[in-house]
Amino acid sequence: MTLSNPSSLDFGDFERDPRWAALCARDRAADGRFVYSVKTTGVYCRPSCAARRPLARNVHFHATADEAERAGFRACLRCHPRRAAQTIRFAIGDSSLGRVLVAQGDAGLRAVLFGDDANELVRDLQSRLPDAALAVDAGGVQAVLEAIVDCIEAPHLPFDHPLDLQGTPFQVKVWQALRRIPAGSTVSYGELARRLGVPDSARAIAAACAANPLAVAVPCHRVIAADGGLSGYRWGVARKRALLQREARA
C-alpha cells in the first residue's frame, strides 16, 4: 500500500500505513527510507526522532529530505534528518599544511579537515557525522580534494563547489558570513557580531567558528581577536597564521 497524505484518507487507512507504524515505533531501521513533516510545527523529521509523536492528521510523508524542503518544511534540529543513512564519500590527500580530508554528500561538501594522521582524520569525521555511512571514494572526490589543496597553496584561486552547511540556524548564518570575507582580509569576532546584528555575541561567533567543519572553504581563519591576535583555530594557530600570510601575499 502506498499512502502519502493523511488529509485525503480516513484514519483507519493511515494507521495501517507501514510508515506510520515505523514513526510510532521510532524505528531506526526506517531512517533513510522516508521522512515525515508536521504541518503544525513546519518541521520534518526522520522516523526515529525522539520528539513527541505528532497527531496523524498533521503528518505528511516525503520520500526524501529534499522533497520535504521543497514543500516548505525545515529540518529538525533534534534528529538531523538530512544525516539519516546518508552516504558520505571522502578522500585524504596531502598539502603543505599537512594531511587534508575532504568529505562530500549528495548535496555538496560536508567536511574539510586538517590533520597529521589519516586515522585521526577519519575518527574526526566519524565524530562529526555519527549517523552517516562513510565510504572511501578517492576517484569520486578527487576533483574537490584537488580544488581544496589548490586553495591552500594559492588562496587567490576561486572555490565554487557546492557546500552542504549543516548546523544550527545561527551557525549557518555565521558560516555564510565568513564566506563573504575576502581573501587577504580579516575581521574581529566583535566586528562580525556587529555585522550580523548581534553586537553582544562575540563569544557565540567564536563558538560557531570553532564548530566550522569546512576549513578553507568556510574561511574561519580570517576571524581574529580584537587586538589583532590570532586567537584559537580548530586546526592549530600555526596553520591559521600560514593561511593568512599566504592570503596577504596573494
Per-residue pLDDT of the chain (250 residues; tens, 9 = 90+): 333 444 444 444 566 788 999 999 998 778 877 899 999 999 999 999 999 999 999 999 998 888 899 999 999 999 988 777 568 899 999 999 999 999 998 789 999 999 999 999 999 999 888 777 889 987 889 999 999 999 999 888 888 899 988 888 899 999 999 999 999 999 999 999 999 999 999 999 999 999 999 999 999 999 999 888 888 888 999 999 999 999 998 7
Locate the domains of the chain by residue range: 6-83, 87-153, 169-249
Identical fold between 87-153 and 169-249 = no
Domain 87-153 is found in CATH 3.30.1490.20:
no
Please list the active-site residues.
Answer: 45, 220
Residue 164, phi then psi, degrees to nearest 5? -110, 90
From the centroid of its chain, how far is CA 28?
21
In the CATH hierarchy, which fold is given to the domain comprising 169-249? Arc Repressor Mutant, subunit A (1.10.10)
Q: b vs e for 117-130, b when ≥16 Cβ sit within 10 Å of the residue's Cβ?
A: eeeebbebbeebbe
Is 3.40.10.10 the CATH classification of the domain at 6-83?
yes
